[in-house]
Amino acid sequence: MKKFIFTNWFSKWELYHTTANVDQHFSMLEELRNRRIDFKTKALNFGGGYGGGSGFSTVYHIYTKR
């Protein structure tokens, strides 16, 4: 249990891939799963402004363990 906590809480993550294309994002995730590489994802949404009328863009980041 201590090893699990230590490796998951204190491990270093580095940016592996970033894209605004959702298809490219999920294809990269599938590639990492097939290679059995641990990863985590974050998405930054830049909103649509007041009322959402101006559209929105999202940037997807994939992090892998060092």
Q: What is the pTM of this model?
A: 0.72
pLDDT tens profile 6-55: 666 677 899 999 999 999 999 999 999 999 999 999 999 877 666 655 66
Domain residue spans of the chain = 10-65
Residue 29 backbone phi and psi in degrees, to 5? -65, -40
d(CA 34, CA 54) in angstroms, rounded, equals 38
d(CA 65, CA 14) in angstroms, rounded, equals 6
Structure tokens that stand for 32 in this block: 């990492």
Q: Indicate the SS3 state at residue 56.
A: coil
